[in-house]
Amino acid sequence: EPEVTQTPSHQVTQMGQEVILRCVPISNHLYFYWYRQILGQKVEFLVSFYNNEISEKSEIFDDQFSVERPDGSNFTLKIRSTKLEDSAMYFCASSQDRGRGGYTFGSGTRLTVV
Amino acid sequence: GEDVEQSLFLSVREGDSSVINCTYTDSSSTYLYWYKQEPGAGLQLLTYIFSNMDMKQDQRLTVLLNKKDKHLSLRIADTQTGDSAIYFCAEIGYGGSQGNLIFGKGTKLSVKP
């Protein structure tokens, strides 16, 4: 069964450093997403991406965040200057369309900012 | 704004049925989902229901939707120890969420042998 692959599975970084979280969505999917889950809290929407541009973003997705599809297979989330409160599990997801069959999620990257 | 609420914990004995409940606020929701998260793993789509349906059955899983009360439930028949996980209810609404998934906090299901 096709999978969404995320790397690394765990990243520790110092406050103020830049991090890039990587994802390989399912190859025939058209929509890509980043969600995050702070420990003990809800899974929250960050951003959706379609046709090589951001289609929606939440209030959480401020100027320190950016996304990119640098080559035709990878989908990355960059956090420019990490803060302690960015520590969370970050999930990448992809879908063929909006809704219906649901999204396929990756296993997540646990980001720890120290 | 949209919100999805679930109870946080459920404990059952192996072989019993589990019922996990969820309420949501967005009346424009078109699809409602149940995701499962095992320790250290991602979010696995279990099943989903379209908002014009009342019930959907898929092997041991039964989803009931009461659109009037905005209540969704997931019943797992003959619960096994391998069903121990966190179960997330999620909706896609086309109100403020603009077609993105809104999740509940998750219900941790513990299955005792």
Residue A14 CB coordination number (10 Å): 8
User: Do B100 and A33 lie within an 8 Å CB cutoff?
Assistant: yes
Q: What is the pLDDT of residues A70-93, one digit of tens each?
A: 888 899 999 999 999 999 999 999
More confident residue, A37 or A41: A37
Task: Decide if A98 touches B, using CB distance below 8 A.
Answer: yes
Q: What is the pLDDT of residues B13-45, one digit of tens each?
A: 999 999 999 999 877 778 899 999 998 788 999
User: Do B48 and A105 lie within an 8 Å CB cutoff?
Assistant: no
- Give the residue from B102, B88, B5, B104 showing the smallest Cα distance to B41: B88
CA-CA distances (angstroms) from residue B105 to A44, B15, B24?
10, 26, 12
Q: What is the pLDDT of residues A6-29, one digit of tens each?
A: 999 999 999 999 999 999 999 989
Distance CA B62, CA B111 (A): 18
Residue A8, preceding peptide bond in cis (omega within 30° of 0): yes
Task: Decide if A75 touches B, using CB distance below 8 A.
Answer: no
Q: How many CB pairs under 8 A join A and B?
A: 60
Classify residue A107 as left (phi > 0), alpha (psi -120 to 50) or beta: alpha
